[in-house]
A and B are shown apart, each in its own frame.
Chain A
Amino acid sequence: MTDDDLADALDTFITEARELLQDFEEGLLGLEDEPSAQDSVNALFRTMHTLKGSAGLFGLHHLVAFTHVVETVLDSVREGELAVSAELVSALLPCGDHVSSMVEGVAAGRLDATTSETVDGDRLLAALQPFLTLSSPLAPVLAEPEVDTLRTWRLTLRFGPDSLRNGMDPLSFLRYLATMGVLERVTTLTDALPDAEQMDPETCYLGFVIDFVSGAAKADIEDVFDFVREDSQISIVPADGQADDYVKVIEGLPDQDRLGDLLVRSGAVTDLEIARALQIQQERNRTGDSLPPLGEILIETQTVPKPVVDAALGKQRKTADSRSQETQTIRVYANRLDKLIDLVGELVIAQSSVGIHRPDEEGYDEAQGEVMRLVEEVRHSALSLRMVPIGTTLRRFERVVRDVCVDLDKDVDLVITGGEAEMDKALVERIGDPLLHLVRNALDHGVEPRADRERQGKPIRGKLRLNAFHDAGSIVIEVADDGRGLNRDRILGKAVERGMVQPGTVMSDHEVYDLIFEPGFSTVETVSNLSGRGVGMDVVRRNIAELRGTIEVLTTAGAGTTFRIRLPLTLAIIDGFLVGVGPSAFIVPLDRVTECVELPPNAAERDCMYLRGEVLPFIRLRTIFDIAGTPPRRQNVVVIEQSGQRAGLVVDTLLGQFQTVIKPLGVLFSEARCISGSTILGNGEVALILDVGPLVAENVSREQVLV
């Protein structure tokens, strides 16, 4: 390609780009008028698609990178994942202008972006960010491991029977291969050739075994057969006697848990080969055999020689030994399982006993009651199977504490108590992150540096205590340090400075300490390596609230801080209180309900009432959920308590206690606050479970100000 040719082609590109950008702008404006026109969306997508493709040919990377994002956005519009909106159009219009100015830059001879163009581009892309359903920046360019030494490979190729019909000539691949190295020996495999009369001239029966000497990486050799890979059997293995090299490479690699990763990093296997082996593994697993080891499949499919796999396995084992691995299975006490099976047996008998009685017969109610009792017991028993001791999770922190102490140059002993307390496995898994944050915080901000401790006459070694215990149907986990404690004045000062509290407000200690859980609160001026990233305690509290738990802080200046997390024992079932409003039913978690009273007639027009001399603000569910119909003459108030704050929920009817199996709401409702889930009632109807925390926080504070 001569320079003249290229300049000529570039001219064509610029003319074309100008036209496309004109189309782009017109298309966008047209889209605003008629957002549902599929044709114009397609045309719009094509403008950016074509621009990107052409720009890539000329190596105009700045144009490619920018148009790629715009194209991605338009693609999701085209696929119906993103709706056309005025905001989208106004975000896209300046993008067109920006591409225009870059194209004009190219016309003026600038083949790279100027600094101001880069800045503009980044700003525009940031504005597009909300529209990117899947954030897909440019596919990263894979850096191939550099192999410059010549290696001998043994290629076994069996081309698919349809290869010729697909326009894939086996010989053309061999010719191409020859451009990358030397074909030392080619053996043609003719064993698949049928007898002459059965032979179909359009079908490919050939295979080859090739000894190939090349300096190319394995992935590059594999790429040669990209187009036939799906229908053909291609295996590329180091020729005999070369395996030792890989064994050495593997032994020199850093620790790695996964066999596949080890093999890929050594260059003996490509990502693709691993993917294929994993697929085979999945299939065999489905056909009922036990899960075959990956290494065996790789050897069996002749992807890698056995010594290489053995070396990788050895390495993997070493890695596993050096790290205590978390168990993937649940250990269940045999007697619990026995009990469950016993109960199910009894249930079957009770069920048949119901079957032999007619409903009006004597003994029917009794049999029915027995079934109910057994169902309840089965539920208890089944839930207990999921209970695991929390100790495993807590013991993981020994390592964390050690590492953090090294980083911070502090001496801290970790004391774990109550590790045998049991909780739901799902909860155990999800409490890890909040706990990690608390532990790091305690070590970073709580425990003082050695010198400070010495000055205060404390032992130089700090102490961090993790304690778990059961308390009234919940599990409590405490993270306690013996550090400096929370500084009331500093917290209050910061809150005033941030405008979270009015200056001069009188607050109890408890209220002040609770401020640290507010979003955006952080008293540490300098952000340290470990904590203080601004995603502080509010996230911890939110995570815990998602598990339907609470967190509180107890502190004594100079003597330490204790964070106390209280969690329900299980996530699956709660005791609920069922209430009715018009035709709808709602569940209030029973542990939040303190009492129920009748709505006094004189409170009808107000948003609060007197309850034993105290003002009780209340929320009308009928109003906030916009339920039609007139309220009945007598309404009830369910008094609930949330973080020390009381409020009432005005409902039509009280339907009583209800064992609630929680069903999560779909993604559609993920933004719905005040509702934490749903459940299905005995009559098949759906009832929403109220999330009391946000409900009270969002609706009552306003009322209280008015009071």
Chain B
Amino acid sequence: MSKTILIVDDSASVRQVVSIALRGAGYEVVTAADGQDALKQLDGKRIHLIISDVNMPNMDGITLVGEVKKLPSYKFTPIIMLTTESQEDKKRQAQAAGAKAWVTKPFQPAQMLAAVSKLIMP
């Protein structure tokens, strides 16, 4: 059974393009528009990897990481943060919260695919 990835980003086009790229590589994909939405999605599903933006309305990415780490079934789930080169401090915060992987925005679908495949195979 292929692995499932949750994409959390407030931009519909980012969600769409990343989904297309990851599905093409053989992953299952579910999406959420912000942190709260993401937490709902995690409930009751088996998610193997989370990709999350930092800047989002309602619940931002760093808060989301903190919440995810509290969930027993997602303790070991890798999380990739989407940061920008100007957000070095955000990156540090996200790492402290437990998200050790990151992809710098703006990125090409291939770069995302490379980062994901370092962490899980389809």
Find out whether the CB atom of B20 lies under 8 angstroms from the CB atom of A56: no
Find out whether the CB atom of A176 lies under 8 angstroms from the CB atom of B118: yes
From known contacts A57-B106, A139-B85, infer whether A227 and B101 are also in contact, taking CB-CB under 8 Å.
yes
- The CA-CA distance from A56 to B118 in the complex, in Å, is 22
Contacting residues of chain A (300-349) with chain B, CB-CB under 8 angstroms: none
Chain B binding surface, main DSSP class: mixed
A1-17 to B contact mask, C-beta < 8 Å, 1/0:
10001101110110111
- The CA-CA distance from A230 to B95 in the complex, in Å, is 10
- The CA-CA distance from A88 to B95 in the complex, in Å, is 34
- The CA-CA distance from A8 to B17 in the complex, in Å, is 9
Which of A57, A71, A167 meets B18, CB within 8 Å? A57
- The CA-CA distance from A167 to B95 in the complex, in Å, is 12
Q: Smallest distance from the beta carbon of B1 to chain A beta carbons, Å?
A: 17
Find out whether the CB atom of A6 lies under 8 angstroms from the CB atom of B12: no
Which of B24, B84, B109 meets A57, CB within 8 Å? B109
Find out whether the CB atom of B16 lies under 8 angstroms from the CB atom of A12: yes
CB of A442 within 8 Å of the partner chain? no
Which chain A residue shows the least CB distance to B104?
A139
Find out whether the CB atom of A173 lies under 8 angstroms from the CB atom of B20: no
Across-interface contacts of B20 in A (CB, < 8 A): 1, 5-6, 9
Contacting residues of chain A (188-211) with chain B, CB-CB under 8 angstroms: 202
- The CA-CA distance from A55 to B84 in the complex, in Å, is 14
Contacting residues of chain A (36-70) with chain B, CB-CB under 8 angstroms: 42-43, 45-46, 49-50, 52-59, 64
Across-interface contacts of B49 in A (CB, < 8 A): 167
Find out whether the CB atom of A227 lies under 8 angstroms from the CB atom of B100: yes
Across-interface contacts of A45 in B (CB, < 8 A): 55
Find out whether the CB atom of A1 lies under 8 angstroms from the CB atom of B21: yes
From known contacts A57-B107, A167-B78, A172-B121, infer whether A8 and B16 are also in contact, taking CB-CB under 8 Å.
yes
Which chain A residue shows the least CB distance to B95?
A230
- The CA-CA distance from A10 to B13 in the complex, in Å, is 7
- Size category, A interface: 35 or more
Across-interface contacts of B10 in A (CB, < 8 A): 46, 50
CB of A456 within 8 Å of the partner chain? no
CB of B63 within 8 Å of the partner chain? no
Across-interface contacts of B101 in A (CB, < 8 A): 167-168, 226-227
Find out whether the CB atom of A175 lies under 8 angstroms from the CB atom of B121: yes
CB of B93 within 8 Å of the partner chain? no
CB of A562 within 8 Å of the partner chain? no
Q: Smallest distance from the beta carbon of B22 to chain A beta carbons, Å?
A: 10
CB of B46 within 8 Å of the partner chain? no
CB of A149 within 8 Å of the partner chain? no
Find out whether the CB atom of B121 lies under 8 angstroms from the CB atom of A53: no
- The CA-CA distance from A71 to B84 in the complex, in Å, is 10
CB of A376 within 8 Å of the partner chain? no
Which of A43, A53, A58, A164 meets B82, CB within 8 Å? A53
A83-104 to B contact mask, C-beta < 8 Å, 1/0:
0000000000000000000000
Which chain B residue shows the least CB distance to A52?
B106
Which of B12, B57, B106, B121 meets A56, CB within 8 Å? B106
Across-interface contacts of A8 in B (CB, < 8 A): 16
- The CA-CA distance from A17 to B14 in the complex, in Å, is 12
Find out whether the CB atom of B118 lies under 8 angstroms from the CB atom of A173: yes
CB of A248 within 8 Å of the partner chain? no
Which of B12, B55, B108 meets A49, CB within 8 Å? B55
CB of B86 within 8 Å of the partner chain? yes
Find out whether the CB atom of B105 lies under 8 angstroms from the CB atom of A72: no
Across-interface contacts of B18 in A (CB, < 8 A): 57
Q: Smallest distance from the beta carbon of A184 to chain B beta carbons, Å?
A: 21
Q: Smallest distance from the beta carbon of B89 to chain A beta carbons, Å?
A: 9
Find out whether the CB atom of A166 lies under 8 angstroms from the CB atom of B13: no
Across-interface contacts of B73 in A (CB, < 8 A): none
CB of B119 within 8 Å of the partner chain? yes
Which of B11, B57, B119, B121 meets A54, CB within 8 Å? B11
Which chain B residue shows the least CB distance to A45?
B55
Q: Smallest distance from the beta carbon of A438 to chain B beta carbons, Å?
A: 42
Find out whether the CB atom of B75 lies under 8 angstroms from the CB atom of A165: yes
Q: Smallest distance from the beta carbon of A5 to chain B beta carbons, Å?
A: 5
Find out whether the CB atom of B11 lies under 8 angstroms from the CB atom of A53: yes
CB of A179 within 8 Å of the partner chain? yes
Find out whether the CB atom of A56 lies under 8 angstroms from the CB atom of B86: no
CB of B79 within 8 Å of the partner chain? yes
CB of B120 within 8 Å of the partner chain? yes
Which of B21, B78, B106 meets A64, CB within 8 Å? B106
Across-interface contacts of B24 in A (CB, < 8 A): 1
Across-interface contacts of A52 in B (CB, < 8 A): 84, 105-106
From known contacts A1-B109, A179-B117, infer whether A58 and B17 are also in contact, taking CB-CB under 8 Å.
yes
A123-154 to B contact mask, C-beta < 8 Å, 1/0:
00000000000001001000000000000000
Q: Smallest distance from the beta carbon of A136 to chain B beta carbons, Å?
A: 7
From known contacts A1-B24, A168-B119, A172-B118, infer whether A57 and B76 are also in contact, taking CB-CB under 8 Å.
no
From known contacts A46-B55, A49-B84, A227-B101, infer whether A9 and B13 are also in contact, taking CB-CB under 8 Å.
yes
CB of A169 within 8 Å of the partner chain? yes
Find out whether the CB atom of A166 lies under 8 angstroms from the CB atom of B98: yes
B36-76 to A contact mask, C-beta < 8 Å, 1/0:
00000000000001000101110000000000000000011
CB of A479 within 8 Å of the partner chain? no
Which chain B residue shows the least CB distance to A55?
B106
Across-interface contacts of A166 in B (CB, < 8 A): 78, 98, 100
Q: Smallest distance from the beta carbon of A168 to chain B beta carbons, Å?
A: 6
* Best-surrounded residue of A13, A46, A166 (most CB of chain B within 10 A): A166
Which chain A residue shows the least CB distance to B80?
A227
Across-interface contacts of B75 in A (CB, < 8 A): 165
* Best-surrounded residue of A54, A75, A164 (most CB of chain B within 10 A): A54
Which chain B residue shows the least CB distance to A9?
B16
Find out whether the CB atom of B86 lies under 8 angstroms from the CB atom of A72: yes
- The CA-CA distance from A45 to B84 in the complex, in Å, is 12
Find out whether the CB atom of A168 lies under 8 angstroms from the CB atom of B106: no
- The CA-CA distance from A54 to B119 in the complex, in Å, is 23
Which chain B residue shows the least CB distance to A58?
B17
Which chain B residue shows the least CB distance to A67?
B106
Q: Mind listing 13 A-B residue pairs with CB under 8 Å?
A: A1-B21, A45-B55, A49-B55, A53-B82, A53-B106, A53-B107, A56-B107, A57-B106, A57-B107, A57-B108, A165-B76, A166-B78, A226-B101
User: Could you list which residues of chain A lie within 8 angstroms of chain B, going by C-beta atoms?
Assistant: 1, 5-6, 8-10, 12-13, 15-17, 42-43, 45-46, 49-50, 52-59, 64, 71-72, 75, 136, 139, 164-169, 172-173, 175-176, 179, 202, 224, 226-228, 230-231
What are the 8 tightest A-B residue pairs by CB atom distance, in nearest-first order?
A56-B106, A167-B78, A13-B13, A227-B101, A53-B105, A9-B16, A54-B13, A57-B17
Known A42-B55, A227-B102, A230-B95; 4 more pairs at CB < 8 Å: A50-B55, A54-B11, A57-B107, A169-B119
